[in-house]
């Protein structure tokens, strides 16, 4: 069993895509073990994406991620990190495979609907960034 962090980003929430994302997670055997809606401050978005702070898109990305509500979830399942990344598709929706969330819904490399952790260490940091132990349901 593995856990990963999923975010329906502000563009996905604003466009009414929470249900579409959740549907795909559940249909593909990923179990949602924690879930809430948040609205990050700019500083919280900067902390979450600190690994990207030297990238040219950092300012724009953190403006976007703090621009409105987002839904954060902890997903659990066998090989959850890779399986969720397969469901999301490539960061750039233009490169994403047919049938992936980003290919089907994203409109922009930045406004790409969803986020998912890329490795076990990142997942541990990202889950802990938004959830404490009491908010994650025991199974
Ligand atoms: P995400 O998977 O959340 O990880 C970092 C985010 O930065 C990414 O999705 C996009 O939202 C954004 N991003 C990555 N690359 C670029 C880019 N070249 N230009 C703008 N935004 C980017």
Q: Does the active-site annotation cover 115? A: yes
Q: The whole model's pTM is what?
A: 0.96
Would you state the structure tokens that stand for residue 118, as one six-digit string? 């890329």
4 Cβ below 6 A of ligand 1? no
Closest CA to 109 of 55, 68, 72, 45: 55
pLDDT (mean) for 2-28: 98
Residue-range domains of the chain with CATH: 2-130 (3.30.70.141)
pLDDT at 139 > cutoff 70:
no
The pLDDT tens digits of the residues spanning 93-138 come to 999 999 999 999 999 999 999 999 999 999 999 999 999 999 999 7
Whole-number pLDDT of residue 118: 98
Whole-number pLDDT of residue 138: 74
Would you state the structure tokens that stand for residue 33, as one six-digit string? 């073990």
> What's the ipTM?
0.94
Task: Find the 114 Cα to ligand 1 centroid distance in Å.
Answer: 10
The pLDDT tens digits of the residues spanning 48-82 come to 999 999 999 999 999 999 999 999 999 999 999 99
115 Cβ below 6 A of ligand 1? yes
Taking each helix axis as running N to C, give the angle between helix 80-88 and helix 18-27, from 0 to 180 degrees, rounded to the nearest 10. Answer: 130
Residue 33's pLDDT band (boundaries 50, 70, 90)?
very high
57 Cβ below 6 A of ligand 1? yes
């Amino acid at each position: 069993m593995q856990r990963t962090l999923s975010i329906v980003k502000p563009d996905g929430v604003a466009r009414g895509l929470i249900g579409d994302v959740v549907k795909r997670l559940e249909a593909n055997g990923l179990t949602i073990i924690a879930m809430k809606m948040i609205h990050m401050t700019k500083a919280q978005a900067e902390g979450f994406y600190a690994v990207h702070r030297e990238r040219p898109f950092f300012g724009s990305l953190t403006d976007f991620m703090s621009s409105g509500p987002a839904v954060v979830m902890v997903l659990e399942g066998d090989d959850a990190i890779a399986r969720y990344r397969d469901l999301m598709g490539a960061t750039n929706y233009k490169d994403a495979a047919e049938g992936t969330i980003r290919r089907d819904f994203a409109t922009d490399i930045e406004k790409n609907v969803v986020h998912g952790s890329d490795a076990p260490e990142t997942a541990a940091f990202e889950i802990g960034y938004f959830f404490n132990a009491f908010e994650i349901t025991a199974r």
